[in-house]
Amino acid sequence: MSEPLRIGLRLLGLLVFLVGLAMIVVLVYPGPSNVAEWMGNSCAHTTNGPSEQCTIFDVLEFIFFAPWLILVGGIMALALRRPGKGPMTIDLSGRD
């Protein structure tokens, strides 16, 4: 893998990780009700229907992806280390 590609993918992983963390923070502060108010009338609750006011449940569905973003971003950021170090691994063999 070329060095610029490795650095770019690692930065992308870090960005995805931070977006996932930001989504979790938004769930706690300012809260899903305030986020639903900020989203406004952009949620369609029926197929091809008119847009309606977003609810707390719309925000929670959106934030459902946060743990997956944290997991994927963290793996990308940790696995794509410098060429001399190689990927970070965990040794579960129990040998010293």
Question: For the segment 8-48, what is each residue's pLDDT rounded down to a tens digit?
Answer: 888 898 999 999 998 888 878 887 777 778 777 777 766 77
pTM score of the predicted model = 0.67
One-letter identity of residue 12: L
Q: Where exactly are the structural domains of the chain?
A: 3-79
Written as six digits, the tokens of 80 are 């794509």
Rounded-to-integer distance, Cα 59 and Cα 79, Å? 31
Neighbours of 32 (CB within 10 A): 19
Which residues does 40 contact at the CB level (< 8 Å), separation at least 6? Answer: 53, 54
Alpha-helix residue ranges (DSSP H) falling in 29-87: 32-39, 56-63, 66-79
Given the structure tokens 């305030």, which residue do they identify? 34
